[in-house]
Amino acid sequence: MRRHPLVQMLVVGAIASAIGVFVALQIHWFPARASTRAREVDRFYHVLLIVSVPIFVLVVVVVLFSVWKFRMRPGEKFKEGPPIHGNTRLEVVWTAVPAFLIVGLVIGAFVTLEDIESAQPRTMTVDVTARQFAWSFSYPRAHGDPVTSSTLHLPEGRPVEFRVHSADVIHSFWVPAFRAKIDAVPGITTTLRITPSRQGSYPVVCAELCGYGHATMRTTAVVEAPRQFAAWLRGQGRPAPPTAPVGAPSGRQLFTQEGCDACHTLADAGASGTVGPNLDDALKGRSAAFIRQSIVDPNAFVAKGFPPNVMPQTFGRQLSAAQLDALVSYLAKVTR
């Protein structure tokens, strides 16, 4: 007995959907879960998969079925299809069903977001600053200057609020293992809350195309036991923030703090970046004046093999006079 084509199509679609959903749920889409919000984010992702796989399958089955069922047969080349005047009931259904689905998913997303972003007691604050092409993290302290670091350290189990800033263009602060991502936008502070829940080291990635060195704009988030974290924080001395020229960091510290090491190789600073010229070669025997010009006005002289406009032209404004002097004399010394 032959079944109605619509029944055949529904049976094929239902089987394909079941297989599709099963396969989609077997795949490990994400890295380790290193924050408390990860479970909720992953669960919501699974809801999205369960809803969207059958829709994808339905569309594909209908398309393939139509191609097969309504294909042109010999002698039909100049035949016109039946005139179609619309079907109100069908149109109401195909408008209403997606509308309900979307509203439902939006509500689900909103509830999840409210929950994972809710304020927690005992929250610590970390300032995240993005610049081309490096991250820096600053831990405010009750007394004295904040501690700054180019790697992110966090105590396990302690809620943290990131205040995210940009010193130049738009970047995006992303720690996949925390299931957390937010843009760093010049001129405003964006915030993001997480609670690290698993010790280990996880990649921190820039997720917004921000220039030639975008792909190298990475660092590490270290989640450690609270005691270890406290010991690390104590051991961080106090590399002063960029606004405090007095008691200032050395040229070598500035080289790292300002992110030069993300793009340049410089043996003395242990830097191995390859976005820009190798400074051990490019600055060899160069005058302090040349080095200063190369920092303040990088396009004045561009090393062979590198396009112009790669190096940010904002360092002249960003560095204080004292910082610039320190950086220039350091570079002149170590590349003599």
Taken as a whole, the chain contains a residue count of 336
Among 175, 177, 217, 283, binds ligand CUA (CB under 6 A): 217
Does the protein bind ligand CUA through residue 275 (CB under 6 A)? no
- Measured from the CB atom, the residue of 17 and 148 that comes closer to ligand CUA is 148
210 binds ligand CUA (CB under 6 A): yes
If the CB atoms of residues 123 and 309 are measured against ligand CUA, the closer one turns out to be: 309
Query: Which of 39-47, 93-101, 209-217, 224-232 is the region at the interface with ligand CUA (rule: CB under 6 A)?
Result: 209-217
Residues 6+ apart with CB under 8 A from 264: 271, 273, 275, 276, 277, 278, 279
Options 165, 214, 252, 264; binder of ligand CUA; rule CB under 6 A = 214
CB of 30 to ligand CUA, least distance (A): 21
Nearest distance from C-beta of residue 188 to ligand CUA, angstroms: 16
Query: Beta 152-155 vs 218-224: how paired, if at all?
Result: parallel
Chain residues 188-207 in contact with ligand CUA, contact rule CB under 6 A: 206
What distance in Å separates the CA atoms of residue 87 and residue 81, rounded to the nearest whole number?
Answer: 16
# residues contacting ligand CUA (CB under 6 A): 9
Cβ neighbours of residue 17 closer than 8 Å, sequence gap 6 or more? 53, 54, 57, 58
CB of 264 to ligand CUA, least distance (A): 16
Is residue 171 a contact residue for ligand CUA (CB under 6 A)? Answer: yes
- State yes or no: residue 165 binds ligand CUA (CB under 6 A): no
| CA–CA distance, 12 with 330 (Å, rounded to integer) | 71
168, HSE (Cβ side, Cα atoms, 13 Å): 22
Query: Residue 133 in contact with residue 172, Cβ under 8 Å?
Result: no
User: Minimal distance in Å, beta carbon 213 to ligand CUA?
Assistant: 8
Shortest CA distance to 306 belongs to which of 267, 269, 258, 263? 263
Subset of 129-148 contacting ligand CUA (CB under 6 A):
130, 133
Q: How far is the CB of 189 from ligand CUA (least distance, A)?
A: 17
Q: How many CA atoms lie within 13 Å of 32's alpha carbon, on the beta-carbon side?
A: 10
d(CA 30, CA 113): 18
Q: Which residue of 57, 152, 177, 208 would you call a contact of ligand CUA, by CB under 6 A?
A: 208
User: Which residues of the shown chain bind ligand CUA in the complex (CB under 6 A)?
Assistant: 130, 133, 171, 206, 208-210, 214, 217
